[in-house]
Amino acid sequence: MTTEALLARRFRVMGRHSPLFYDRPIELVRGEGVWVWDRDGRRYLDAYNNVPHVGHCHPRVVEALARQAATLNTHTRYLHEGIIAYAERLTSHFDPALSMVMFTCTGSEANELAIRIVRECSGGMGMIGTEHAYHGNTASVIQLGSLFTPPEKRGPYIRTVPVMDPYRDRGGRTDAALAAAYADEVRKAIDSFSAAGIRFAGLLFCTSFSSEGLPTLPDGFMAKALEHVHDAGGYFIADEVQSGFGRLGSHMWGHEMLGVVPDLVTLGKPMGNGHPLAGVVGRPELIERFASANMYFNTFAGNPVSAAVGSAVLDVLRDERLQENARDVGRHTLQALDHLKTRHEIIGDVRGKGLFFAIDLVQDRQSKRPAGDATKRVVNRMRDRGVLISRVGPGDNVLKIRPPMLFSSEHAGLLVDALDASLSEL
Ligand SMILES: Cc1ncc(COP(=O)(O)O)c(C=O)c1O
């Protein structure tokens, strides 16, 4: 069957609007480590997918899944030591104040649940998110994800604030002034709820502001804003769906990098290495208060198979020292990517932390106008060269590079060479 024939089948049964990567979509049939293969046996370097966090089809994860699936799979209404042990182990990776977990199957569900918890505990409905963010696809969460939701679809309980990207929005301001401006925006959003007679519930943000373009934020950036949130009786939710589990190298969690302890943390994507495992970790007083007033059960979430998978992911992260790898390989990769700036005028800014990189392509370095079309071409050329990346950001002009955590210097070399060649062809 040709790609065209398969596409036609897909369009018929899944519709034409179900998102698909690349102008020439790839039919992937196999994966191993940082590599994936298409049906013709062509190998691609996966420099984009963070879900196979410890590598595609990691044998220890596959083995843990298969062993538990062949033993028992039920749900959390039965006692199961494996689930409890995983919950204990997972929460041990957080600040002691964040000692309780509720499992979900997706990041969207985790954010939905976290919003319900802060609404229950604050008695308010008003939620603040960041402009151009994405947090998931449920009815409440999609309203906060302004990336895909225009203002008229957000409803009365949502406000969004700009993140203040130091590359584009600095406007001559110091780091402290930038943080103060962000805090002011949060304060204004809280005040606008009061003015509308809406009680404030909380603030939700992705700890690396990844869909927003991965800005490099100054130290202490969030502190004042979060003070405003708490002073107004609200709570803050740190979305670690993209940033968590050591990806940022220096820290296990993005909120640690930001120097804050959230009220709730939401987890997903890498947590199960491809198996649907996600959750909310948080302050027990909030979770207990919510759960005592709302029966919460999620049939598949945190079942014994999921717990075995989640545990195996933590085993591999520890035994293969993948957070340290993200830190070390990440540092070298960032330098090599940054060096491309000397060869390609279109690169306005290169940013990153650990194994998470953003390359901001601009029409010219003076105006910093986004080069969205060129960025799309680069993503497609990279695919043709056998390297998978994607793009994000308000102007769709930020190359997004976020490989599995076992990415090595050798892989980084392949990535940088392919990018150099693709940019040269523009
Ligand atoms: C930051 C962030 N939060 C939440 C989600 C939603 O996760 P899921 O697709 O598992 O529902 C995503 C998905 O892209 C995300 O990037």
**Rounded CA separation 273/23 (Å):** 27
Ligand 1 centroid distance, CA of 110 (Å): 9
Measured from the CB, is residue 107 less than 6 Å from ligand 1? yes
CA-closest residue to ligand 1 atom 3? 135
256: Cα separation from own chain's centroid: 15
HSE-up (13 A, CA, CB side) for residue 87: 21
**How far is 128 from 182, CA to CA, in rounded Å?**
12
Please tell me if the CB atom of residue 136 comes closer than 6 angstroms to any atom of ligand 1. Answer: yes
- Please state the CATH superfamily assignment of the domain spanning residues 3-54+321-424 in this structure: Aspartate Aminotransferase, domain 1 (3.90.1150.10)
Tokens 């604050």 belong to which residue? 122
- Secondary structure of 202-250 as H, E, C letters: EEEEECCCCCCCCCCCCCCCCHHHHHHHHHCCCEEEEECCCCCCCCCCC
Does the Cβ of 241 fall within 6 Å of ligand 1?
yes
CB burial of residue 322 (10 Å; 0-12, 13-18, 19+): buried
Q: Please tell me the predicted confidence (pLDDT) of residue 147.
A: 79
Check if the beta carbon of residue 262 is closer than 8 Å to that of residue 238.
yes
**Does the beta carbon of 206 sit less than 6 angstroms from any atom of ligand 1?**
yes
Strands 356-361 and 35-38: unpaired
Cβ of 243 below 6 Å from ligand 1: no
pLDDT tens sequence for the chain (426 residues): 899 999 999 999 999 999 999 999 999 999 999 999 999 999 999 999 999 999 999 999 999 999 999 999 999 999 999 999 999 999 999 999 999 999 999 999 999 999 999 999 999 999 999 999 999 999 999 999 877 888 888 899 999 999 989 999 898 999 999 999 999 999 999 999 999 999 999 999 999 999 999 999 999 999 999 999 999 999 999 999 999 999 999 999 999 999 999 999 999 999 999 999 999 999 999 999 999 999 999 999 999 999 999 999 999 999 999 999 999 999 999 999 999 999 999 999 999 999 999 999 999 999 999 999 999 999 999 999 999 999 999 999 999 999 999 999 999 999 999 999 999 999
Return d(Cα 329, Cα 323) in angstroms, integer: 10
Cα→Cα distances 16→25, 136, 142, 385, Å: 13, 21, 21, 26
Q: Which residue has 């210097």 as its token pair?
A: 409
Whether 157 and 199 have beta carbons less than 8 Å apart is answered as no
Query: pLDDT value at position 145?
Result: 82
End-to-end CA distance of the chain: 33
Neighbouring residues of 400: CB distance < 8 A, sequence distance ≥ 6: 48, 210, 214, 357, 358, 389, 390, 391, 392
Pairing of strands 126-130, 100-104: unpaired
Q: What integer pLDDT is reported at residue 259 of this predicted model?
A: 96
44 contacts 382 by C-beta, under 8 angstroms:
no
Q: Would you state the pLDDT for residue 151?
A: 84
Q: What does the pLDDT read at residue 148?
A: 82
Residue count (the chain): 426
Q: 367: CA distance to ligand 1 center in Å?
A: 32
Question: Which two three-digit tokens encode residue 174?
Answer: 């110091």
Q: Phi, psi (5° rounding) for residue 356?
A: -140, 115
Domain ranges (residues) in the chain: 3-54+321-424, 60-319
Q: Does the CB atom of residue 268 touch ligand 1 within 6 A?
A: yes
- What spacing in Å lies between the alpha carbon of 37 and ligand 1's midpoint? 25
CA distance 168 to 178: 11
- Rounded CA-CA distance 103/351 in Å is 33
Q: Return d(Cα 57, Cα 28) in angstroms, integer.
A: 13
In what helix (H) or strand (E) does residue 12 lie, and over which residues does it extend?
helix 3-14
pTM tops 0.85, yes or no: yes
Q: What separation in Å is there between the alpha carbon of 134 and the centre of ligand 1?
A: 7
Does the beta carbon of 135 sit less than 6 angstroms from any atom of ligand 1? Answer: yes
The architecture (CATH level 2) of 60-319 comes to 3-Layer(aba) Sandwich (3.40)
Using CA atoms, how far residue 7 sits from 3, 23, 425, in Å, is 6, 12, 28
